[in-house]
Copies of this chain bind each other. A is one copy, B any other.
Amino acid sequence: MSHEEEDTLLATALQKFVDVDGSLGRKIIPYAHDAFHVREARQYDSMSAKDRLDVIALSLTPNERAALESFVLLCSCGTLETTSFFEFLHWWALCGYTYQGCMDSLISYKFKGGQSSFAIRFFKEALATGKLSYVFNSPVKSITDVGDKVTLTTRDGRQYTGARLVSTIPLNVLNSISFSPQLDPLRMAAANTGHVNQCVKVHAEISNKDMRSWTGISYPFNKLTYAIGDGTTPAGNTHIVCFGGFNNHMHPEEDVQETRKAVENMAPGNMDIKRLVFHNWSKDEFAKGAWFFSPPGLLSSSLDALRRRQGNVVFASSDWAIGWRSFIDGAIEEGTRAAMTVKEELQSSPTSRLRL
């Protein structure tokens, strides 16, 4: 199938999937940054992607269904049963209610120097103030909030104390840390449920130059499902990014031959692999998964609780952003909110208003 035929196929299938209101989702989620604004939107959080597929099954051709399922799984990297249909509608609204918008917002653009180059600039800006102290590689054991200060203890016994603590601990890691006083029951329940994204992302350098703008789907039998050509590496090879998820999960470092095979299966005969690069986010103790994607029920029951502060602890993570939840934009939303909260509380009000 050509690129354009695939595009049309997926666009058509997506429209059938999201059209719950005769307006391609625009009536049910009119404000992407206030996704529960319309009360009726909540019902879609008790549906999974699978439930919605069952509703529209008769209207989909087999090819449309395969393209649609693989795209939904590319977003959630869970299973169709564990993917909240509401959260998919929310992504769709964020992307302007069009397939083109999804491509523009989710796929087409990247930082020249990679996502890390962006993160490093935030870090350097903070460092340049001369007021930043930091430690890395220090897993947190406990957080104790007593009176007007919070104390954090690392697993190796170091302690740090402050007037406020901004916790950026991701949802899937939250229940590995001991809080005193305990986290409120709703937040704790959400942390125990966790989000469902167990993305397997494998980067391959291959020699075939024709593959640099290619997109491929291999679904449902392969361990990797979706792959895109992503330009040329400094060595002149083609960079391919392959995605898999929990629906057919693997740990790429456990059996590299299996990983290699899964990459080759994305385009049999066209994958002369020079190098494979991956990081297993599922096993990463600081992440326990990839970007947030919610199972049915999680957001409608717990989003407000996850966003609430608890005493001197303010929780900031893209995992509970209201707009670009799961994206770095959501991390900026929530980081800004937390910083503003703490700044307003701790900044002494100027004694006199200066006027020249």
Q: How far is the CA of A12 from the CA of B344 in the complex (A)?
A: 49
User: In the complex, are the beta carbons of A355 and B128 less than 8 A apart?
Assistant: no
Q: Which of B127, B128, B348, B350 contacts A127 (CB 8 A)?
A: B350
Number of copies: 2
From A130, which residue of chain B is reached at the shortest CB distance?
B350
Q: How far is the CA of A133 from the CA of B160 in the complex (A)?
A: 36
User: In the complex, are the beta carbons of B96 and A134 less than 8 A apart?
Assistant: no
**Residues on B with beta carbons closer than 8 Å to the beta carbon of A134:** 354-356
Q: How far is the CA of A347 from the CA of B348 in the complex (A)?
A: 23
**Residues on B with beta carbons closer than 8 Å to the beta carbon of A350:** 127-130
**Residues on B with beta carbons closer than 8 Å to the beta carbon of A349:** 128
User: In the complex, are the beta carbons of B133 and A356 less than 8 A apart?
Assistant: yes
User: In the complex, are the beta carbons of B356 and A128 less than 8 A apart?
Assistant: no
A98 vs chain B, min Cβ distance (A): 8
A132 at interface by CB-CB < 8 Å: yes
A353 at interface by CB-CB < 8 Å: yes
User: In the complex, are the beta carbons of A128 and B347 less than 8 A apart?
Assistant: yes
Extra 10 A-B pairs, beta carbons < 8 Å, given A129-B350, A130-B354, A134-B354: A96-B96, A127-B353, A128-B344, A128-B347, A129-B347, A130-B350, A130-B351, A134-B355, A134-B356, A135-B356
List residues of chain A with CB under 8 Å of any chain B CB. Answer: 96, 101, 127-130, 132-135, 160, 344, 347-351, 353-356
- Can you list 24 A-B contacts (CB < 8 A)? A96-B96, A96-B101, A127-B350, A127-B353, A128-B344, A128-B347, A128-B349, A128-B350, A129-B347, A129-B350, A130-B348, A130-B350, A130-B351, A130-B354, A132-B354, A133-B354, A133-B355, A133-B356, A134-B354, A134-B355, A134-B356, A135-B355, A135-B356, A160-B356
